[in-house]
Chains A and B, each alone.
Chain A
Amino acid sequence: MSDGAFMISPRWRWFGVACSALFFVLAFTATGAAQSIGPVQAILQEHRAVLEKSSRKTVGPVIDALGDSGLERAPLVLEAWQARNLYQRTEDGLFFIGEERGGTNRLIDVDSGDDVGEITRDTAKQLRPNGGVRRVIGSALVRFQLNAPDPADREAALQAIDRNPEEVHLAALGASIDAESDPTLRSRKQRMLRLLEIRFEKDEAARVAAIESFRGDIGVDVRAALNPLVATRLEVVAGEPPVTRNVARVLAPGSAELPRDVAYSALVDAGLATARIDREAIKSALVANIVDGSVGGALVAELDTDAARDAAYAQLANDGLAPRALSEADVDQALSAHTFFLSYSERSSAVTEAAEAVLSSINLSLGAAQGADLLLDGLSLASIYFLAAIGLAITFGVMGVINMAHGEFIMMGAYTGYVVQLFVPDYTLSLIIALPLAFAVTFGAGVALERTVIRWLYHRPLETLLATFGVSIALQQLAKNIFGTQARPLTAPDWLDGAMVINDVVSISYIRIAIFVLALLFLALFLLIMKRTRLGLEVRAVTQNPKMAASMGINPDRINMLTFGFGSGIAGVAGVAIGLFAQVTSELGQQYIVQSFMTVVVGGVGNIWGALAGATMIGGLQKAIEWLNPSNTLAAQTYMILFVILFIQFRPRGMIALTGRAAEA
């Protein structure tokens, strides 16, 4: 269909509609009817029979008539019809839109919008278009919406086309582009038009051009349009493939792509060969022919091997009691007499070639985009691990104290966030309160732990590990006793919902961005405290030489207490952050503790950069392994841990290792 033809036909239709409308107006006036007939009602009346008994096949003219009329209220009528909200008055057969006003359902005039009376069982009859009809109406409505004055409506129309593209949209969309004033919508319409052309354009060259225009475009919509074009199915014919088929590839039976069994069953399915007698068939044939405890010349009790069953079946076949089993040679002969090939359902080879070429270019870009997405994923996981591990890096690295209850401090932070939300319903405000509060709570818990337990166990790292483990199980059970075993929600504020979408492949949720920022903040905070404050100076002094530091008036007890409190406090903040996207349970900390240890160990102890490097590596690696084996995150963790164990072989002191005397000091 050319554009010219399209342009002419509506005009003619409009002319016809106008004439018929005029006729009806005249007719009613002539018969002295009290009520005047509007133009929409006139169209409806013209197609009255169709409306009263509609079917998908017959409603075309009336929808076209309404659609082409250009009348402002025509779309309203279509919408009402589609929504089964169009009524026909019993007394005169006029159509009205049903609408609820003041508690009753009223008849509304299709042209004027006047309320003309109440709907009762006696006064009016509802039109009930079936699903098919309603779909036809829907796609007609899209045409109106494409030109609707409100950009939101036009956008909705584009989305409707995207959901359910149809051939009729092609012309309508093409016609609506020139008049489009919004540049964004205009480009979207053009893109949509090209997508529709891929599907429905009749002209091969135009279609190929449309396909080519998407080279390297990784949009989901493009792939959805192109993939059906390159879909193939296995066909088999005797001799050469017919020229009417668009052959993708000829397959050799027995190859990896087409195993012999599959090839033969394709032959059988196509009715070109008889089915082979398989084990089950042999078995049922034998069972069916058992006479007095024996079959095919053998006792039933002897038939407990495949060889014995085959022999008995051969005997049955000889006796004519069963079809003869095909030999391998028979199968080979049948296979070689036929050609197996994959054919495109799309007939035009130019189109399929173009689609294949463009898809492979898309896959290339897709790979790059997926790589970028993977990088982002890895980065966000790394920042979670970093947040979880930074406190541990401080207590384990700086103080040489291993805190198995670190995970429980993370959990404590998450529950603090939950409790705050119970009292402060505004999520943004509660988050702002929860972050420092969680720090304070876990700081306090950390100081208490240091004072009561860890202080007595310095230089006995294994015992510290065990004692803090005792604390860990007690805290975990306490949390269970207080908050129960079911997961508690920690809801993120609205502005953290959703994701930053870069394209159809690359996107990152705002929560993850926030966690990334939080991780950077804590890195900066840590560096600031360690390098620029008195406390940091004293911490470094105590770390390097506690005796010397003590002799210079630094109280190592106080420093250890503060350091441990600081590390624990960060765990609490990490808990709030983790709680925003994970389930808050008493076992929350357990899920992160091993990874946190791995992070510290891999990165290198006693060094914040080590924790950063470790987190980056563990996070990135885990995502990379998940990508290689996407079905299985458990396996990813397994392999990740194996990797870490091997990694320790080569860098026992971690990635960022202190060397020489400093390491031994």
Chain B
Amino acid sequence: MSSLLHVNDVSVSFDGFKAINGLSFVVGTPELRAIIGPNGAGKTTMMDIITGKTRPDSGDVLWGEGGVSLLKMSESQIAQIGIGRKFQRPTVFGAQTVRDNLRLALKKDRSPLAVLRFTGTDEDEDRIIEISREIGLAEALDRSAGALSHGQKQWLEIGMLLAQDPQLLLVDEPAAGMTPQEREHTTELLNLAAESRAVVVVEHDMEFIRRLECRVTVLHEGAVLSEGTIDHVTRNQEVIDVYLGR
């Protein structure tokens, strides 16, 4: 396992409120990592910083072996070097079919002129079908994505991430609003994805994290409170205080 993402002493504040306060951690590859924390711990802001949506006030975010700084890049450049993000609220393109959604996500040249010249190859179509089987939407390929159920949309989004073939996958609360069966399937998908790449799951549902059986980083007030196995962190008195209240 080699390190893929270094977050170094990053801080950011909004109107004086320190959302992230000297946050540092490292994600390796392949790895499945869970990040937990109560509301306001800075989980979403952290993902915003990594994906380029928010610029930190200080600190650095470095990528890969070469240690390229992500802070100078735009969101699309960051996505192109191999960081995929799944939002908490499922965001698929409802006006288009599942197939179109997956085709959009396929790892291809993203520049307008290249897209203009794009004609799908048989390999591309096969890959789309393959992914659709993985996420259990093979039957629904030509249905409009807007007509899918909530859970199906979540899977489609994960499928789109898989099609994107990123080296690092940032997943925000994948299990929110899912039935137990759907959760089961989601867990499988994430574990599958983590076999060949880094997957960071942000979640505050301890039960779900426990199923993932992975290393856990606990965030609190914008900084790392504890890190280790799920059993390790749940025994930590500070973590218990934060979660249960003093």
B139 contacts the other chain (CB 8 A): no
Query: Which residues from A are CB-within-8-Å of B14?
Result: 659-662
Query: Which residue of chain B is the closest to A660 with respect to CB atoms?
Result: B14
- Nearest-neighbour CB distance to chain B for A502, whole angstroms, equals 44
Note all chain A residues with C-beta closer than 8 A to B19.
661
A664 CB → nearest B CB, Å: 9
Binary B-proximity of A646-665 (CB < 8 A = 1, otherwise 0): 00000000000001111000
Q: In the complex, A661 Cα to B13 Cα: how many Å?
A: 10
Min Cβ gap B87→A in Å is 14
Interface string of B1-43 (1 = CB under 8 A from A): 0000000000001110101000000000000000000000000
Interchain nearest-CB distance for B49 vs A (Å):
14
Chain A residues bordering chain B, tally (CB within 8 A):
4
> Which chain B positions have C-beta within 8 A of A661?
14-15, 17, 19
Report B244 CB to chain A, min CB distance, Å: 26
Q: How far is the CA of A660 from the CA of B45 in the complex (A)?
A: 11
B-side interface mostly: strand
Nearest Cβ in chain A — how far from B44, in angstroms? Answer: 11
Which residues of the partner chain B approach A659 to less than 8 Å between Cβ atoms? Answer: 14-15
CB nearest to A659 among chain B residues? B15
Per-residue interface assignment for chain A, residues 622 to 665, with 1 indicating a CB less than 8 Å from any chain B CB and 0 otherwise: 00000000000000000000000000000000000001111000
| Residues of A contacting B15 in the complex (Cβ-Cβ under 8 angstroms) | 659-662
Bound CA span A365–B19, Å:
55
Which parts of B53-112 form the interface with A (CB within 8 Å)? none
Contact code string A333-376 (vs B, CB < 8 Å = 1, else 0): 00000000000000000000000000000000000000000000
How far does the Cβ of B233 sit from chain A's closest Cβ, in whole Å?
Answer: 28
Cα(A661)–Cα(B19), bound, Å: 10
How distant is the Cα of A662 from the Cα of B13 in the complex, in angstroms? 12
A152-190 interface (Cβ within 8 A of B): none
Which of B13, B14, B17 is packed against the most chain A CB atoms within 10 Å?
A: B14
Cβ of A660: which chain B residues have Cβ within 8 Å of it? 13-15, 17
Nearest chain-A residue to B19 (Cβ)? A661
The residue of chain B having its C-beta at the shortest distance from the C-beta of A664 within the complex is B14
Min CB–CB distance A657 → chain B (angstroms): 11
- Closest Cβ neighbor of A662 among chain B residues: B15
Say how far B131's CB is from chain A's closest CB, in angstroms: 33
A659 to B17, CA, bound (A): 12
Q: How far is the CA of A661 from the CA of B15 in the complex (A)?
A: 8
- Shortest CB-to-CB span from A665 to chain B, Å, is 10
Which of chain A's residues have a CB closer than 8 A to the CB of B17? 660-661
0 or 1 for each of B148-162: is its CB under 8 Å from A? (1 = yes): 000000000000000
Give the distance to chain B from A65, nearest Cβ to Cβ, in Å.
90
Which A residues between 416 and 447 are near B, CB-CB below 8 angstroms? none
Cα A659 to Cα B15 in complex, Å, equals 7
A110 to B70, CA, bound (A): 105
Q: How far is the CA of A660 from the CA of B14 in the complex (A)?
A: 5
6 A-B pairs whose Cβ atoms sit less than 8 Å apart in the complex: A660-B17, A661-B14, A661-B15, A661-B17, A661-B19, A662-B14
Residues of B within 8 A of A (CB): 13-15, 17, 19
**Apart from the given pairs A660-B14, A660-B15, A661-B19, 5 other A-B contacts in the complex at a CB distance below 8 Å:** A660-B13, A660-B17, A661-B14, A661-B15, A661-B17
The 5 closest A-B pairs by CB, nearest first: A660-B14, A661-B14, A660-B15, A659-B15, A662-B15
